[in-house]
Amino acid sequence: MPFFGNKFSPKKPSSRKSFLHNSSKSPDKLIEKDSSTKLALGDYILTFQNGKWVLENGVQGAMHKALKKQNLRIQTLEEENNLLKLKLECFMNMLTETTIDSHIQQREIEKLKTEVFNN
């Protein structure tokens, strides 16, 4: 036994288990999908969405939600309008084709009538 021995020799700690390396849960499950950063300032609650701070309550928050709803409605109406324009163009092409066929048939009928009456 050494005279000046080392009396302080701490035990080595056991290896720690990492929470992220747990194979039972994937990292996607650990992250909440609807989590957003919220900030409360007095009567106002702000959330950070798409790189911007947006009011959740109050007059401006209601106006923002109404504006967002109106923009969504405008977008759906524009898509519907474009579809209706496409349908109208298709029907006009069909009508033009039918009219041309009708005129061609009418000319052939007139031509046959003149041939029959001339003979």
Q: What is the mean pLDDT of residues 56-85?
A: 88
Name the pairing type of β-strands 52-55 and 37-41: unpaired
The ranges assigned to domains in the chain are: 59-108
DSSP 8-state symbol, 26: -
pLDDT of 3: 64
pLDDT of 46: 84
Q: Are 35 and 47 in contact (CB under 8 A)?
A: no
Helical spans, DSSP H, in 11-53: 27-30
Task: Evaluate if pTM is beyond 0.75.
Answer: no
Whole-number mean pLDDT of the chain?
A: 83
pLDDT of 32: 61
Q: Is 94 helix (H, G, I), strand (E, B) or coil?
A: helix
The region of weakest confidence among 8-12, 16-20, 69-73, 105-109 is 16-20
Q: Which helix (H) or strand (E) holds 76?
A: helix 58-118
The pLDDT tens digits of the residues spanning 19-63 come to 555 556 665 665 666 667 888 888 778 888 888 887 777 666 677
Residue 64 pLDDT greater than 70, yes or no: yes
The pLDDT tens digits of the residues spanning 8-21 come to 777 888 777 665 55
Q: Are 56 and 45 in contact (CB under 8 A)?
A: yes
Q: Are 38 and 47 in contact (CB under 8 A)?
A: yes
